[in-house]
Amino acid sequence: MNLIKQQNQLQKDAYKVLEKLQLMELLKNFGEPKIVGSLSLGLMTWRDIDIEVIMKKLDMEFIAEICAKLVRKSSRRIDFGVIDNRDGFNNIRPTGIYLGVKYYSKDLKAGELLGANDKVWKIDIHFVLKKDSKGVQKTQEVADRLTDEIRKIILKIKGVVFKSPKFRKEIFSMDIYNAVLNKGVKNINEFKDYLRERGINL
């Protein structure tokens, strides 16, 4: 499938998932939610949604309540992962509380209700105080520099990189954005060279 058409379809489907779960409305009860990352930028290559929620106070009770409400809206299966990073111990993640949601739509077959299935929607929600908010700003910085040509380059590179076991461990989407926007990387081979300079092999 054409990468632009694929991205457009994923973007459309992502908003349907958010509507199905009424997730943005739910999160508004607890803070100020903003869609960030690839969904906001129109740079989707897989079923991944990123949301940053700016809070006045971080409380694990809020997370428990959100999970309970989402369970009631789940069709087949829904998984949760929570990381309390309020002390900033994990410097890869924002300082705050992370809620990871895996949503399995009702059209999946019995044998597809697996965590590793790429048909599963992964929703990353970061609850942060305003002083620790970075997602909205970083997304806007990328958006301000996107052109149709740059979007195509990024989508081609992401289409290869996301299949790597190092993705989201050593290599992140922002690495691709930085390489293309700030280093002039134009293809996957140049991105591999960019990574090697940083001591990473794709």
Average pLDDT, the chain: 93
Residue with tokens 């106070």: 57
**Residues 7/79, Cβ–Cβ less than 8 Å:** no
**DSSP letter string, 132-147:** G--HHHHHHHHHTT--
How many CA atoms within 13 Å lie on the side-chain side of 67? Answer: 15
Q: Is the pLDDT of residue 104 over 60?
A: yes
- Phi/psi of residue 168, each to 5°? 70, 5
- For the segment 115-133, the average pLDDT, to the nearest whole number, is 91
Chain-centre distance for alpha carbon 64: 21
Q: Is the pLDDT of residue 88 over 60?
A: yes
Q: Is the pLDDT of residue 11 over 70?
A: yes
- Phi/psi of residue 31, each to 5°? -175, -155
Q: pTM for this one? A: 0.92
For a pLDDT cut of 70, what percent of the chain falls above it? 99
- For the segment 128-151, the average pLDDT, to the nearest whole number, is 96
Short-list 77, 124, 72, CA closest to 103: 77
Query: Quick one: pLDDT at residue 78?
Result: 92
